[in-house]
Amino acid sequence: MKIDVLYQFNEKYAPYAGTSITSLFENNRHFVEIRVFILGENLLPDSVKRLEETGKRYNRQIVFVDTKLLIQKMQAAQMPSYRGSYAANMRLFLSDLLDDSVERLLYLDADTIVAGKLDALVSMPMNGYPAAMVQDSLVRLHKLRIGFSKEEFYFNSGVILFDMDRWREKRCSERIAEHVRAVRAHYPSPDQDLLNVVCRGQIMALPPEYNFQPIHLAFSIKSYFRCFGRKGYYGLEELKRGKENPVIYHFFRFVGEFPWNRGNLHPDNDIFDEYLRKSSFHDYVKEPSEAGIILRVEKVLYRILPRGLFIYMFRVAYEWFIYRANKDSLKKKINKMM
């Protein structure tokens, strides 16, 4: 069995991507072939060397894709950068750069850990869908603001399984570019919102264990349902199975911090540290986060409040953050039209 995997990241995220790649190789030694494509932005020679060492150590192929043409194509399509970087949206336009030997492509965010075997994921039937993803755990209100109903699925873009033939056939990259030009370019979650809006109804739902998100480690499933509701999300048994056997952990920001921040309270800290020690970036030194006063207060409250109470404060803080981000992105849309 073989698997093609894609990562996209800039220099800042190179140690975290290296840790994720190590976990991928470590827990899938039985694969005959694993080929990793890297869309790197401004990577330093030392980071490239360490990533190449990771491939050699596990006898796996790592391919660094030249992103210059890709960025030019994105600029021609009027794709916006995000915080000065085009990395967030690169994977949406990769199809033209990959040859026909890549039939299925597994995209992984740099902030993931592959803790189990990927056989079942990469071999599952996709039934004509161009992409398969896990639902996002935090978008109770945000998906309503971008036109979704409570019952509709909204997906997290940290893990994406692409059927490249169907992706090309359905012109997904072209449709995303058309949406950016004609409808809206700026969203609070740039690539994730674009994927959900443009490919609405064309994304297959994966079980939650393939993108297991921090909120389900930090809080009980019952507390989650009481706070966020059940509509348009996984059922109790699905989440139980995911929690018992996560295959891919996705450790996005939690109470203002990531597992690579010094003194963090992130529920994925231990598993991140385990694979960081095994990686070519094992000498990475954690630094304090740059969290503002609100997030620092949130961290204190997480320490002292019962989990069943804190989850409501967590939800309010997250929804306020997304609300402000949505407001800012709409301002950019208005300014572009003027």
Q: What angle do CA 135, 141, 142 make, to 5 degrees?
A: 70
What local confidence, expressed as pLDDT, does residue 84 receive? 67
**Strand, helix or coil at 91?**
helix
What local confidence, expressed as pLDDT, does residue 67 receive? 81
Pull the structure tokens for residue 198: 């443009």
* DSSP line for 304-320: HS-HHHHHHHHHHHHHH
What local confidence, expressed as pLDDT, does residue 200 receive? 96
CA distance 48 to 30: 25
Q: What's the count of helices (H) and strands (E) in the chain, helices before strands?
A: 14, 9
pLDDT band at 334 (very low <50, low <70, confident <90, very high): very low
Per-residue pLDDT, averaged over 132-136, amounts to 98
Pull the structure tokens for residue 320: 């306020």
What local confidence, expressed as pLDDT, does residue 107 receive? 97
CA distance 281 to 95: 30
- What is the 3-class SS of 102-130, one letter each residue? CCEEEEECCCEEECCCCHHHHHCCCCCCC
What local confidence, expressed as pLDDT, does residue 326 receive? 66
In terms of pLDDT, which residue wins out, 74 or 236? 236
What local confidence, expressed as pLDDT, does residue 335 receive? 44
Per-residue pLDDT, averaged over 92-100, amounts to 79
Q: Tell the residue number behind the tokens 């304090």, with chain if given.
A: 288
Percent of the chain with pLDDT over 90: 69
Per-residue pLDDT, averaged over 83-92, amounts to 74
pLDDT-wise least confident of 153-167, 172-186, 212-226, 315-329: 315-329
The predicted-structure confidence for 17-30, as pLDDT tens digits, reads as follows 999 999 999 999 99
pLDDT band at 41 (very low <50, low <70, confident <90, very high): confident
Residues 232 and 150 sit within 8 Å (Cβ to Cβ): yes
CA 280 to chain centre: 22
What local confidence, expressed as pLDDT, does residue 270 receive? 98
Pull the structure tokens for residue 256: 């203002």
The predicted-structure confidence for 260-308, as pLDDT tens digits, reads as follows 999 999 999 999 999 999 999 999 999 999 877 878 888 999 999 999 9
Per-residue pLDDT, averaged over 204-221, amounts to 98
Helix 45-57 and helix 14-26: axis angle, to 10°? Answer: 0
Q: Is 149 exposed, middle or buried (0-12, 13-18, 19+ CB in 10 A)?
A: exposed
Range 297-301 contact pairs with CB under 8 angstroms and sequence separation of 24 or more: 298/255, 298/256, 299/255, 299/256, 299/257, 299/265
What local confidence, expressed as pLDDT, does residue 133 receive? 99
CATH number of the domain bearing residue 258:
3.90.550.10
Pull the structure tokens for residue 240: 């139980």
What local confidence, expressed as pLDDT, does residue 79 receive? 75
**DSSP strands (E only) in 136-273:** 155-163, 203-205, 248-250
- What total number of domains does the chain contain? 1
Which residue, among 324, 310, 135, 123, has the nearest Cα to 226 in the 3D structure?
310
pLDDT band at 338 (very low <50, low <70, confident <90, very high): very low
What local confidence, expressed as pLDDT, does residue 38 receive? 96
Largest Cα–Cα distance in the chain?
56
Does the structure show a pLDDT above 80 at 78?
Answer: no
What local confidence, expressed as pLDDT, does residue 295 receive? 81
Range of the domain at 130: 2-337
Per-residue pLDDT, averaged over 8-36, amounts to 97
The predicted-structure confidence for 218-238, as pLDDT tens digits, reads as follows 999 999 999 999 899 999 999
Mean of the per-residue pLDDT values for the chain? 91
In terms of pLDDT, which residue wins out, 176 or 328? 176
